[in-house]
Chains A and B, each alone.
Chain A
Amino acid sequence: MDIEQLEIRQHMAQFAPFEYLGDELLDQVATRVEISYYQAGTDILTLDQDVNELCYVRSGAVEVSRRSGQLFDRLVEGDIFGYSDIMRNRRVRFPVRAIEDTLIYFVPAELFDSLRANNDDFADFVETGGDRLKATIDQQRNDNQMSSTRVRRLIRRKPTMVDIQTPVGQVARLMRENNVTCVLVLSEEGEGANGPRHFTTQEGQVRRLAGLLTDRDCCVRALAENLSGDTPVGEVMSTSLMTAQSDASIYEAMMTMLNHNIQHLPILYRRRPIGVLQLSDVMRYETRSSLYLVSSIFTQSGLAGLVRLSGDVPLAFARLVDEGADAQMIGRTMATICRSFIRKLLELGEAELGPPPIPYCFMVLGSCARDEQTVLADQDHAMVLDDSFVPEEHDEYFQSLARFVSDGLAACSYPLCKGDVMATNQRWRQPLSVWQGYFRDWIENPDPEALLHSAIFFDLGYVHGELNMIEKLQALICELAPQNPFFLAAMARNALNRTPPLGLFRTFILEKDGQHNDAIDLKRRGTAPLVDLVRVHALACGSGSHNTIDRLKDIAETRLLPEGVNDRLRYAFEFISMVRIRHQSLAIESNESPDNRLRPDNVESHERHNLKDAFEVLSHAQKFLKFRYHAPSRKERRR
């Protein structure tokens, strides 16, 4: 192959769908390309002209318009057009014009047809109206084993199941015979095959999954309590039961176990238990440092040990990036690590100060609650107390506990929150009824200025204590938010404060960073506005999720967003998050302090285009947000 063709080949090989092609097909493309130059403002394809070639933008930019002349799409380096018309009737349906000086490569139609016939990925891409950002994200996901392998691969044997009336001694002998550390406990009572946790056994009987008994339960709840071996297993089993579906990823299952601090997780196929996953199974499958980190957090006996462990957090982060984890996994792992630190600190605090005088719930806010944490996270948390709270009697305890946690976190390199959103602040250490009042006030009397500071409270996650308190708050938000257009409008207005760094014609707008280098702030101008935007939609549809991707899934079930927008937002979010994460991990590996400021010249050209695509998705979505949640005018209000 001649060197000029190599030059062409190299370029095309970076971009979908050509990147899917094998060497031989790619060679064919590179040797048969034709080239033409178009000055800005000239037509490349005109309406209804014959088209016999796929067009590939080698440099410059073009605009695709609808028959009506309305702008349909803007394409840049590495994008293709004209191919959908080849597949239809070889007449141009969407005219194309150069908006910058542009060099186009043409691939003849018969070669295009043979590429489709010989490569399925190529065919999929062009036939589904391929999306470059989507292709990149999917590629990343497939590269990672943990997130793509289903949990059922780790299930090696059927679960041991016993009836709820079985004496616990007999269960213990069964565990010894079967050599298992855990049995599932079934009951017959219930509301038929469709009740919660009901399933039909292989013998055709309807049973309910009532609970589970581990060898530790035998020890702690039966032997230590001096119960006889005749006690029915139903009286000693644990009933708070977490389960996972067999097609969940190993990673999801692992996170469920770590977040609830459990060792055994029943795996269900539809509703029927098909096995029990143990944390040690996962450990054997993947010995990753973040997992060890979490489990060793819980085995520490004092603050000094936690501080020592916290030094490993950035390394665990960098290793996750190396292993090809996606932004979701990394965000969730970092959040889990942070929650584990808090939980352990609360345990240590309670050990030091004595048991809490009244029930309470400790919650995290912001990125940790959304499971989207990176290495640069402030601590944002708050406390909800039982309504029996009497400040004079109880507050000293909770203040000391909050101080203990927040100082401990600071020692573990989670800096104090600059906005003082911490449980140490008396305002954010209040009984449930006061919290409910806060949310009512924010939602029913929205003031954009005030909401700017309280938006963080709409991402709240449980860490420790009474789960139901936080559930009540979440239920309140889900109930009130969708009914209050003024609240949504105020949130939408705030979500538009930060715009993506794109100028006219897709140029990056750069800002000076601390060292006076031109840079893009990936958080302030990328992930944060996206999170804000998705939060507004999620609140509008009463979604109880906090993770941005989960929220998008909830939104997808409504008709809130136009078709396709949801997916594009997801890809954009994952892509920008990933660029940000990689940027930080590079800094960690070269012993610099990680930040959010990316210099565009440090980005490869095809990645730069993906980044522009992602920012453009954000920009379009912001326009839609503005139009969707504009505050009703006074006239409408009166009606």
Chain B
Amino acid sequence: MIQQWRQRLQKHIRRWQWHRRSRLVSEWPAYLADRQSNTRDDRLARYFGAGTMDAQTPISEVPLVALDIETTGLDPARDSIVSIGVQPFTLGRIRVADSRYWTVKPRRALSGRSVVYHRLTHSDLAEAPSFDEIIGEVLEQLAGRLVVVHYTRIEREFLDAAARHYLKESLLFPLIDTMAIEAYQHRRLPWFQRLIGRRPVSLRLHPSRERYNLPPYQAHHALVDALATAELLQAQIARHYEPDTPVGVLWE
């Protein structure tokens, strides 16, 4: 009983804290509208034109899409995207049939190490279309939906870098980061956590999923990770938030 009250109280405190923060990022609709009118690329224009929802919309009513990309390395300036997986979903359902997956020809030749990492061979990728050829389809999948990723930096910076290279324009959009939600749950007041002897938990996708009793999947495939991310968000909202939590509280 006490446990329940405590959880409920914590939820309210958290909501209030997020509300303060959300004011900072509630300018997304305005940013997207501005980009739509100024872009020279019609694929980007269509994507930005679909806009995004109001920051006050309950998360349960928002069409979502989990996005995962695999890359040749960690540096957006030197490395490039090799595969993209998207899994559209809502808080209630993930329809596996809706998922999409692309392999992408990298800008530079592959290094041996990361090839093993993604189970993609040189020949798979040599015959793959370039980013320029598929970005239209990818943006179509993302349009009108709020993107969910695990670890914002990779997806945001690599997509932006690729867009700058091929389309000569930046590509930024609102995101929900399941890793940030996880970090907020487990890495608050790090000095205090250390003080009481807690070891920091892993925030990587699969260890995070374990904490919600989600099954292990074969990692490092863009589509599997997109599905894994979608399930993780469902779990996180169920445990830490409410279906009517405003989306502005979650995105960044």
Identify the A interface with B (CB < 8 A). 2-5, 7-8, 11, 30-39, 42, 58-60, 100-103, 106
Contact = CB atoms under 8 A, between A and B. Distances in A.
Most buried by B among A30, A59, A60: A59
Contacts of B231: 35, 37, 103
Nearest to A77: B215
Contacts of B217: 4, 7
Given A7-B218, A37-B212, A101 B235 contact: yes
Contacts of A4: 85, 87, 96, 99, 217, 221, 223-224, 226-227
Contact of B93 (A36, A39, A103): A36
Contacts of B239: 39, 101
Contact of B96 (A5, A11, A102, A103): A5
Contacts of A100: 213
B96 A35 contact: yes
B6 to A, nearest CB: 15
The SS class assigned to the B binding surface is: mixed
A60 B226 CA distance: 21
Given A103-B214, A103-B231, A35 B221 contact: no
A39 B224 contact: no
A101 B213 contact: yes
Given A4-B226, A39-B235, A100-B213, 5 more contacts: A11-B215, A33-B96, A35-B93, A37-B212, A59-B213
B96 A3 contact: no
Nearest to A605: B215
B124 to A, nearest CB: 13
Given A2-B101, A101-B213, A103-B231, A34 B224 contact: no
Nearest to B212: A101
B113 interface: no
Most buried by A among B87, B92, B226, B235: B235
B95 interface: yes
Contacts of B97: 31-32
B238 A8 contact: no
Contact of B215 (A38, A42, A103): A103
A37 B234 contact: yes
B221 A3 contact: yes
Contacts of A5: 96
A39 B99 CA distance: 24
A251 to B, nearest CB: 41
Interface in B60-103: 85, 87, 92-97, 99, 101
B57 to A, nearest CB: 20
Q: Which 8 A-B pairs have the closest CB atoms?
A: A101-B213, A37-B234, A39-B238, A35-B94, A59-B215, A4-B227, A37-B235, A4-B223
A245 to B, nearest CB: 49
B96 A8 contact: yes
Nearest to B231: A37
A285 to B, nearest CB: 46
B96 A42 contact: no
Nearest to B213: A101
A612 to B, nearest CB: 16
Contacts of A34: 93-96
Interface string B161-172: 000000000000
Interface in B100-119: 101
A60 B101 CA distance: 28
A342 to B, nearest CB: 52
5 contacts: A3-B101, A4-B96, A4-B99, A35-B231, A37-B234
Nearest to B87: A4
Nearest to B4: A41
Most buried by B among A3, A8, A100, A102: A3
A353 B215 CA distance: 68
Contacts of A8: 96
Most buried by B among A4, A102, A103: A4
Contacts of A36: 92-94, 234
A58 B227 CA distance: 14
Contacts of A35: 93-94, 96, 227, 230-231
Contacts of A33: 96
B214 A59 contact: yes
Interface string B224-250: 101100110011001100000000000
Nearest to B94: A35
Most buried by A among B85, B101, B226, B238: B238
A36 B233 CA distance: 11
Given A3-B221, A3-B224, A7-B224, A102 B213 contact: yes
B8 to A, nearest CB: 13
Nearest to A30: B96
A301 to B, nearest CB: 61
Interface in B109-146: none
Contacts of B93: 34-36, 106
Given A3-B224, A4-B224, A32 B96 contact: yes
A5 B226 CA distance: 12
Contacts of A59: 213-215
A32 B214 CA distance: 20
A38 B237 CA distance: 10
Contact of A37 (B99, B214, B223, B224): B214
Most buried by A among B87, B96, B99, B224: B96
Contacts of A7: 217-218, 224, 227
B213 A38 contact: no
A60 B213 contact: yes
B99 to A, nearest CB: 6
Nearest to B92: A36
A139 B229 CA distance: 37
A106 B234 CA distance: 15
A101 B214 CA distance: 8
Nearest to A35: B94
